[in-house]
Structure 1
Amino acid sequence: RARHLGIKHCFTAIRDKAGVLAELQERLQISIAATAFIGDDVNDLQVRPSVGLLVTPANGCIALKRKADLVLNQRGGDGAVRELVEQILRAKAN
């Protein structure tokens, strides 16, 4: 699906999410403040110090919801990413 959408950087089955994220931020020269991350489980908390915006879908785990900057209305796999993108685009337009 990522290839079909033209997504250049797609990682799956990553245990050290913070490490991979740091490498990607360095390679692409993207600051922590300019980094958004969407996750749904407790293991996604490891990236909290490395992102400016931590987001979880409506069905994210409670621990992540407590630490997230934004809890979406949509569930993962049911429009959550689209909701996030639309919110970012609206915010940039203002």
Structure 2
Amino acid sequence: IYLSVVIAGIFYFKRLMGEDYSLFKHGMIPFIAIFVPAAALYGSLQPQGGILNLAPYVVLFWIALGIGIIYYLRSSNPEMIAKIGSDMNIEN
């Protein structure tokens, strides 16, 4: 989300500021703000070794399990799913 806001901010300020738009202030500084987190993100996606290599698969399994439980409850106990939705103020 942070990177999206910084990128959108570059274009927003270009449109909003008009002639007062400064390439350095509204372009280069946000570029630096994009580069630093992007480098950290790149480093976190590199293989870590050991048990940490299993983390993406565990997360995908956990998400698939949750989706499977929701589909099972939707078919076997739809009123429970409706109650969960109403408790969370979610409308169909």
Report TM bin, short chain.
under 0.3
Q: Report the structure, 1 or 2, having the larger strand content.
A: 1
Structure with greater helix percent: 2
After TM superposition, the score normalised by the length of structure 1 is 0.23
Larger Cα-atom Rg: 2
TM-score (norm 2): 0.23
